[in-house]
Amino acid sequence: MWIKSIVLDGFKSYAQRTEINGFDPLFNAITGLNGSGKSNILDGICFLLGITNLSNVRAVNLNELVYKNGQGGITKATVSIVFDNTNKPQSPYGYRHYDEITITRQISIGNRNKYLINGLIANNNRVHDLFKSVQLNVNNPHFLIMQGRITKVLNMKPEEILSMIEEATGTKLYDNKRDEASKVMEKKNVHLLEIDTNLNEEINPKVLKLKEEKASYLEYQKIIRQLEHLNKFHIAYKFFGAEACSDFVELSKKSVEDHLQLLKTLNDSKKEVACGDESLKLLSTVIASLEKKRDEEAGGLLSTLQKAHEEAKNALTINSSHLNASKNQLTSETNKLEKLKRQQHADKTSLKLKKEAVTKLEFELNVLKEKNEALKNSHKSAIDHLKAVKVGLAGVDNGKDATVNEQLRSCKVNISNIETMLEETKIRVELKKLNYEDGLEEKLGAEHRRLEMEVMRISERINSLEARFHQLSFDYHDPESNFNRTSVKGPVAMLMNVKDQKYATALEVVAGGKLYHIVVDTEQTSKKLLDKGQLKRRVTFIPLNKIAGSKISADVLRRAECLVGKENVRTALSLVEYENELEAAMAYVFGTSFICTDMESAKRVTFDEDIMMRSVTLAGDSFDPAGIASGDVMNEQMVSGEDRKKMLLKQIEELEDILKNKDAHMEQQVKKAQDDLDSITHRYEASNNFLKIKEQEFNVMKLELVDLDKEHVDLMDQINSTSESIKKLEEQVTQQEAEVLRAQVQLMTNNYNKDIEAKQLEQHELVKNKKKLLLQIEDMQHKITQANKVAKDAQKKVEQMLKEHAWIAEERNLFNVANTVYDFNANNPNEASKKINKLQDMKEKLSKTVNMRAMSMLNKAEEQQRDLMQKRPVVLSNRAQIEKLITKLDNEKDKALKLAFAQVNEDFGSIFSTLLPGASAKLIATEENGILCGVEFRVGFGNVWKESLSELSGGQRSLVALSLILALLLFKPAPLYILDEVDAALDLSHTQNIGQMLKAHFKHSQFIIVSLKDSMFNNANVLFKTKFVDGVSTITRHTQENNGKSSSEPVQKKKI
């Protein structure tokens, strides 16, 4: 496949459409003065091939490829090349049925870019794949030797020369596979490290800990089982004791009944006591007669003494009762005093709480008053609005009221002004088309001043935009010397073009903050910039070798198109243009979102069960399947006159409709205003009522607070009075105690008659015996009652224990039976009770620390341990296989590289000897281990080999570099070679030799060479000469003849 013709239109210095026909399939040369545009032809070829590093075509951005950066009235650049495709074995895949392939690339100011293949639009990837299939990868070119390449080769280090050989050999494929294998190897090592770390630091310690917890858990279970056994033993013992107690009570009843027989005898004694009572009565009569007789004999002295005795005794009784009453009153008053003190403390606390409640209620009351006042104002505003609506007024944007007619009149005035402005604009355009020049000088002066003002305004606008969109600028310092700035691509916003500006708002919403992320080639570049790039702001990097962007599948897209129509939904990624190498970054930013024409379509697409992806409308409204919606991302900064006119016309139609339906519209507004008024009135009344209730509560709380203060004062008075009465009672008790003491002394001083005392003693003894007998009777009856009660309690306890413990009924026959678990003689119940308490304490302590889930957790942990132990040998095996693969790749690379090195070295020596007769050249390894550490040049003249290229002349050194380049081209032929002034440092003889050598040795490829020397382009079959005329490049074609003469013919031009 070779170039037949090239068309340049608006590309660099070729402002006019220039068609270059008649390329020779073998040797073509281009010459011309400096700056005439000869290298621009090669730049056009590279541009069409899809070069991404624009510095190779001497440009910073695509806009610089347009003639005069678009300032000369030309806003787009087009390059079109016709390739001959008659050699079918070398045809690109998929295009073998074409004899010619026409490929066109066009860019416009604003970085709009498109490709066409045979007149049909094609994406960048398709074009790049086409050229890669025929070894024309312009981004990794071995067929392209531009200006300065010779000098670069001379300055290369041994490792870089080896890299050139590897590139020509194709061993980079081995390197890529080895890198992939190394990455997998690294992942395996990380995985193995994770397994070992998990086993050593997490799983194994966890298993050991769980085994300890399992032992504690088993110990805990053992204690529980022992407690259950001992509790059953203890319950059995208590049941046996209760049952035995019930039997004992039955026996006690019989002994009590026997004792009652004895009590019958006591009843007989009661009769005797009754007889004794009669004897006492007789004795009392005898004592009375004796006393009477004695008194008579003693002249009434005894009666007087006895009367004094009775009076003293009565006084003693009265004083004792007074004393007891005073003591009781004293105790009562003391208790009352304590009670009053406690009540006083409680009242103090209650008083403090009441004061806090009053303060809080007062604050709430003030807040309610403020809310009530706000509602009152709202109520008043609603009434005013209702009145305004009833008289036909409506609110407008500036806050004033105007009728619908006034709004309509205002819109019509705006329409008239806009129509006038549009008419004036159309008139100015028509005058410009007619080249109207009336008063041209004055106008030019004014126009010059206006343009100067416009320049100043645009400069200010540019400054403000740069300040506003400062994220689009990315300034940094080189983090290291010889830093490759092409590895930093720039912000996402600067690396893509919007195909249609109507999608700009939606795409900005889709990208969000990612629009200002910085794209770099690798994560190492981003790390260097972060560490040493002296960045002035926070930056997020997108490394192309790491980022993994996802795209919307074709099935999902078809589903969305079926839902809302193909014209109403597009993927965001399909609406932007970008270079192929940026595809991953663009997919990361735009890959998972849809752009829809309206909100309804966006909703249907977003929330469809088979799609569930984010959608954005043209107006910037965003819909997310998570339920998040956003809108009004950015407003249009400018609205054209036509758009404003359409908007106002629409507003006029709406207002005219309102006028037609004025009554209905007024009724609707009145109804709405009335509803608002009713709602605010209801809220106002409710707030007013609530405010009144709170005021009543506040007043009640105030009254309660006053009452509490009064009660507190009364309590203090009562406490003081009670304290005084207690003091008086204490003094009174002291006096009464003294009087009782005197009465006792007086009573003790009286002398009674001994006979009377004897008889009285005898009387008391009989009474005492009587009481003793009665007490014995009551005691026996009490014992009988108590025995009945104990028997009932024991029986009740037995029944309750049988009900609570069902196992007792089955095992009661074993209670207190020898050689059983319920042998109460062999096993001490008291010791069992102590052991139960001890085990209960141990159970409580263990229950706080024991892990009840230890068994299940241990099983799970051991399962994880087994799983990791099984995975570990698998990972080790995979790692060993990868190591074998890496070794195999290294061996294959070494083998291929050695074969290529031998061939290239042989061709290198042969070409150099041809270019410089009598001299020889070779490539040698820098170290004895082989060529893998690098290679360097050796040049010999005769039998003497030069140690360094510095011993050669400039021309000889250029021949060395050129010979290596040509040897590499010969090793891996391409259908097309482009050489730009490779003979710049050579003399005429050497240049002649190069031309002859190319013509003789490279008969299967097409050469396009730019040269300024006759000895070079005289060897070409076709020569193109360029000139620079009136700021535009022109070109003529010359056919070389065998006699050295050439015939020229102009290249076709078409003025645009």
- CATH label of the domain that carries residue 592: 3.30.70.1620
Neighbouring residues of 61: CB distance < 8 A, sequence distance ≥ 6: 54, 111
pLDDT digits (tens, 9 = 90+) for 849-859: 777 777 778 78
**Which residue, chain included where needed, has tokens 């239109």?**
9
Q: Would you put residue 481 in left (φ > 0), alpha (ψ -120 to 50) or beta? A: beta
Q: What is the mean pLDDT of residues 760-784?
A: 70
**Cα(1055)–Cα(74) distance, rounded to whole angstroms?**
12
| Confidence at residue 247, expressed as pLDDT on a 0 to 100 scale | 58
**Cα(989)–Cα(1016) distance, rounded to whole angstroms?**
9
Could you tell me if residue 262 is inside a domain?
A: no
Q: Is it the case that residue 781 has pLDDT exceeding 80?
A: no
Q: What is the mean pLDDT of residues 403-422?
A: 59
Highest mean pLDDT pick, 347-361, 479-493, 798-812: 479-493
pLDDT digits (tens, 9 = 90+) for 453-512: 776 776 666 666 555 556 667 788 888 888 888 899 989 888 889 988 888 889 989 988
Q: What is the mean pLDDT of residues 642-652?
A: 59
Could you tell me if residue 220 is inside a domain?
A: no
* Of 204, 211, 188, 206, residue with least CA distance to 869: 204
| Confidence at residue 394, expressed as pLDDT on a 0 to 100 scale | 42
| Confidence at residue 69, expressed as pLDDT on a 0 to 100 scale | 85
Q: What is the mean pLDDT of residues 677-684?
A: 72
**Cα(540)–Cα(706) distance, rounded to whole angstroms?**
70
**Cα(616)–Cα(622) distance, rounded to whole angstroms?**
4
For residue 1040, give the CATH number of its domain.
Answer: 3.40.50.300
Q: What is the mean pLDDT of residues 1016-1032?
A: 88
Among 222-236, 267-281, 308-322, 629-643, which is the least confidently predicted range? 629-643
**What is the DSSP annotation of 908-932?**
HHHHHHHHSTTEEEEEEEEETTEEE
Burial of 1019 (0-12, 13-18, 19+ CB in 10 A): buried
Task: Name the band, by pLDDT with cuts 50, 70 and 90, for residue 577.
Answer: very high
Among 703-707, 746-750, 837-841, which is the least confidently predicted range? 746-750
- What integer best gives the mean pLDDT of the chain? 76
**Cα(765)–Cα(759) distance, rounded to whole angstroms?**
10
Write out the residue range of the structural domain in which residue 510 sits.
466-634
Token pair in block for residue 859: 């099983």
State the DSSP H helix or E strand holding residue 977, giving kind and residue range, or none if neither.
strand 976-980
The amino acid that residue 609 corresponds to is E
Percent of the chain with pLDDT over 70: 68
DSSP state of 856: H
* Of 1003, 1002, 1051, 1006, residue with least CA distance to 1029: 1051
- In SS3 terms, 817-829 reads as CCCCCCCCCCCCH
**Which residue, chain included where needed, has tokens 């070794």?**
887
**Cα(945)–Cα(86) distance, rounded to whole angstroms?**
48
pLDDT digits (tens, 9 = 90+) for 24-35: 998 899 999 988
Could you tell me if residue 122 is inside a domain?
A: yes
Task: Name the band, by pLDDT with cuts 50, 70 and 90, for residue 150.
Answer: confident
Could you tell me if residue 844 is inside a domain?
A: no
**Cα(909)–Cα(967) distance, rounded to whole angstroms?**
9
| Confidence at residue 7, expressed as pLDDT on a 0 to 100 scale | 95
Helices (H), 497-635: 504-511, 523-532, 554-564, 583-590, 599-606
Token pair in block for residue 928: 């004895």
Could you tell me if residue 892 is inside a domain?
A: no
Neighbouring residues of 378: CB distance < 8 A, sequence distance ≥ 6: 680, 684
**Which residue, chain included where needed, has tokens 């049925």?**
97
Q: Is it the case that residue 83 has pLDDT exceeding 90?
A: yes
**Cα(784)–Cα(253) distance, rounded to whole angstroms?**
7
Q: What is the mean pLDDT of residues 801-808?
A: 78
pLDDT digits (tens, 9 = 90+) for 949-999: 788 887 888 888 888 888 887 777 778 888 888 777 777 777 887 888 777
The amino acid that residue 668 corresponds to is Q
**Cα(742)–Cα(119) distance, rounded to whole angstroms?**
147
- In SS3 terms, 579-619 reads as CHHHHHHHHHHHCCEEEECCHHHHHHHHCCCCCCCEEEECC
| Confidence at residue 711, expressed as pLDDT on a 0 to 100 scale | 67
Could you tell me if residue 594 is inside a domain?
A: yes
**Cα(1012)–Cα(427) distance, rounded to whole angstroms?**
54
| Confidence at residue 633, expressed as pLDDT on a 0 to 100 scale | 35
Among 200-209, 243-252, 499-508, 522-531, which is the least confidently predicted range? 243-252
Residue ending a domain, choose from 576, 606, 634: 634
Q: Is it the case that residue 885 has pLDDT exceeding 50?
A: yes
Task: Name the band, by pLDDT with cuts 50, 70 and 90, for residue 77.
Answer: very high
The size of the chain, in residues, is 1056
**Cα(353)–Cα(266) distance, rounded to whole angstroms?**
72
Q: Is the dihedral of CA 208, 211, 217, 223 positive or negative?
A: negative
Neighbouring residues of 269: CB distance < 8 A, sequence distance ≥ 6: 773
Q: What is the mean pLDDT of residues 185-200?
A: 84
Q: Which residue has the higher pLDDT, 247 or 847?
A: 847
Q: How many domains does one find in the chain? A: 2
| Confidence at residue 302, expressed as pLDDT on a 0 to 100 scale | 47
Could you tell me if residue 545 is inside a domain?
A: yes
**Cα(971)–Cα(994) distance, rounded to whole angstroms?**
17
Residue ending a domain, choose from 634, 661, 683: 634
Instruction: Indicate the pTM of the whole model.
Output: 0.39
Could you tell me if residue 749 is inside a domain?
A: no
**Cα(114)–Cα(107) distance, rounded to whole angstroms?**
7
Residue ending a domain, choose from 572, 599, 634: 634
